[in-house]
Amino acid sequence: MVDVLNYEVLATVMASLGDKPDYWNRAKKELSIKDKKIEKVIEEFNNLQLVSKGDIFQTLIRSIVGQQISVKAAATIWGRLIEEVETITPESILLKEPARLRNCGLSERKEEYIRGIANSWSDYSKYKWENMSDEEIIEKLTMLRGVGRWTAEMILIFTLLRPDVFPIKDIGMIRGIEKTYNSGKEMRIEDIMKVSEKWRPWRTVACCFMWRAIDPKPVEY
């Protein structure tokens, strides 16, 4: 499966609309008590808020658009895609000829991934995601061609608002941990995991602050 290791194409965590997790403030308080280093980051970006737009299909499609390209390029292609299909739904995607989607700037492979997800979505829309465990959701989503574990973890964080997700392969998060806990120097995975253990059961919240630690400007996704 293709994965996306570019934290800059994440959903915005400073949006004004959408559902917000009821655990957010409690998590910030408990993380600050447990860990003085993350407390400083939380104090610096205290207004940070995780918000879900609640649309798994749209988030998956945008994750495919953003794979392995810059934020600016992804935003341009996404804008063209919106203009072409108007509303991101399986039906609107499938109504368009492949060439029309590729003309938005999508590679042939990305167009195939997007069309494949749209074709399969009728089977996925029946799932009651709220009743499934994190690993069950990851297993289901990564069956879709073009969706890797990282993308599924981003769905857990930014769409389903699961509180304890730790995307260990996310480069941005790793850089935030290294900056906060090791003066920006490279850390071993074992040491990163050790840091993350202090954050349970609020690793999602900690990760959001690690992303902000290296990029004070959130990116709309």
pTM score over 0.85: no
Quote the pLDDT of residue 217. Answer: 58
Quote the pLDDT of residue 63. Answer: 86
Residues of the chain with CATH 1.10.1670.40: 7-51+165-214
SS3 184: coil
Question: Could you report the per-residue pLDDT of 24-47, keeping only the tens digit for each?
Answer: 999 999 999 999 999 999 999 999
Q: What phi and psi, each to the nearest 5 degrees, are found at residue 134?
A: -55, -45
Summarize the confidence of residues 181-189 as an average pLDDT.
97
Cα separation, 121 vs 144, whole angstroms? 9
Structure tokens that stand for 61 in this block: 């499609």
User: Residue 67: pLDDT band by 50, 70, 90 thresholds?
Assistant: confident
User: Domain spanning 56-158: which superfamily?
Assistant: Hypothetical protein; domain 2 (1.10.340.30)
Quote the pLDDT of residue 171. Answer: 87
Partners of residue 19 on adjacent β-strands: 52
User: Residue 18: pLDDT band by 50, 70, 90 thresholds?
Assistant: low
Kindly indicate whether the domain formed by 7-51+165-214 is annotated with CATH number 1.10.1670.40: yes
Question: Could you report the per-residue pLDDT of 101-118, keeping only the tens digit for each?
Answer: 999 999 999 999 999 999
DSSP letters along 134-180, please?
Answer: HHHHHHHHTTSTT--HHHHHHHHHHTS--S----TT-HHHHHHHHHH
User: Residue 54: pLDDT band by 50, 70, 90 thresholds?
Assistant: confident
Residues of the chain with CATH 1.10.340.30: 56-158
